[in-house]
Amino acid sequence: MKSLQIIDHFSLGGAQRIVEGIVLSLPESELLPLHKKGGDKRQIVIPGEKYLIKPANNLFLQLLNLLQVPRLIRKNNIQVVHCHLQYSWLFGFWIYLCLPAKQRPRLVFHEHDSINLTRWYYPLFVKMVGRAGSLVAVSAFIQQHIIACGVPAEKVLLLSNYIDLERFSPGQCTEFQRFGLNEQQVKCNRLIGFAGRLVEYKGWRLILKAADKLRDKNVLFLIAGDGPDKPKLINGIDQLGLQEKVFLLGYVDHMVDFYRMIAILMITSKKESWGLVQMEAQASGVPVVVFDSQAAQETQGDNSTIIIPSGDIEQLTSKIQELLDDKKLYERMVVKGLANARRYGLTAYMDQLNLIYQNLTL
C-alpha cells in the first residue's frame, strides 16, 4: 500500500523521529516535508528516493513544488496521505479539496502534541479535518479530547508512539567533552538531565529552583534543548548564581550519549502529549522523575516512573536525592523502566499502523 507522510519540516524533533521510522519501515512510503528548517546539519537523513519532493531552499520554488502534489498523488497511485502536525493538516485538507472524490486518497491527521488542545480554534479545526479523514491520537487523553470536540469516536484512532529500542539502550558515554564537561565534573558529580524545547510550559523555571535547592549537593543539571526562552533561562541562571550548577547544552543531535551520561531524567512539563523523552530515557536505563499529568499516568506502566504533584519542588528535589542515595530503589526503577520501554517497540507500532491503513482502504 502506497502512503505519503507529510510533515512541516524534517529537522530533528519528536514527531520527525516518529515519521523517520514510518518512512524507513514501510517500503512504499514516501516523505514530503513542507519546508526546510535548521540547515542541513539538523535534518534527519532519509534516502533521496523516499522523498516525493525534496524541500527547496527558495520559498517561491517550494510553493511551486507543493502545487504539484495533487498531480503526483494521482500519478504515484498514493492510497493514504498521513499528515503529521498541524501545518501538514492544513496542507492535507487542501489536497482533499483539490482532488475529486474518486481520485482522493484516504487522509489521516496525526495529533502528536497537547499544546494546541486548549486553543480557541481547536474544536473547529479538528471537526473540519475530521470531515476530510480520520484522526490519530498518540494518547488516550488526546483521543478523548478530540472526541469531546465533536469528532465521531469511530474516526479518532489511538496509536501510541514507538521507541527505537535498537538505538536507545543502556550503555556508557565516555565522550562527555562533546557536552562541554570535563573529567573532574563527571567524576565528582551525578548528572540530572532535562530534554525539551525551552518554552514556558516545559517548566524550565522549575529546573532552576531544583538546582538552587540542591546547590550544595554533588549534582549537576544538564539541559538539552533550544527555544525562544533561552535568554530568560540564561538570565535566571545568572541571577541565581548557578553557572557552575546548570549547563545549557543547546540543540543535542546525539541523544543516545546524553541519556547514557545522565543518572536521572526529570520532566517538569505542565503538560505532555505522550512523553517520548521519558521512554527514550527508560530504554537507556535511566530512572525518570516526572510531574503528574494524564500522559504521565497513561505511560508509566507498572509504576515505572516516579510521579510527583505538578510544580512541587520539595518533592522533586526529595525524590531526586532519594534515587541517588538508595541504590536498591535506583536499580528497581531501572528494571521497571526498561520493561516499560519494551512495550513500545517499532515492530508493534508498525503492525498497528498497517492495520489502520488497511481498515481505511477497505
The predicted structure's pLDDT at residue 174 = 76
How do residues 335-359 score in pLDDT, each as one tens digit? 999 999 999 999 999 999 999 999 9
- CA angle 12/16/21 to nearest 5° reads 115
Under 8 Å between Cβ of 66 and 53:
yes
Cα separation of 40 and 257, whole Å?
21
CATH topology of domain 176-343: Rossmann fold (3.40.50)
The predicted structure's pLDDT at residue 42 = 67
The predicted structure's pLDDT at residue 148 = 96
The predicted structure's pLDDT at residue 359 = 94
Taking 50 as the pLDDT cut, the residues of the chain under it are: none
The predicted structure's pLDDT at residue 75 = 95
Burial of 330 (0-12, 13-18, 19+ CB in 10 A): middle
**What ranges do the domains of the chain cover?**
3-162+345-360, 176-343
Under 8 Å between Cβ of 273 and 256:
no
HSE toward the beta carbon, residue 3, CA cutoff 13 A: 25
CATH of domain 3-162+345-360: 3.40.50.2000
Q: All 3 cell numbers of residue 256?
A: 543516545
The predicted structure's pLDDT at residue 271 = 76
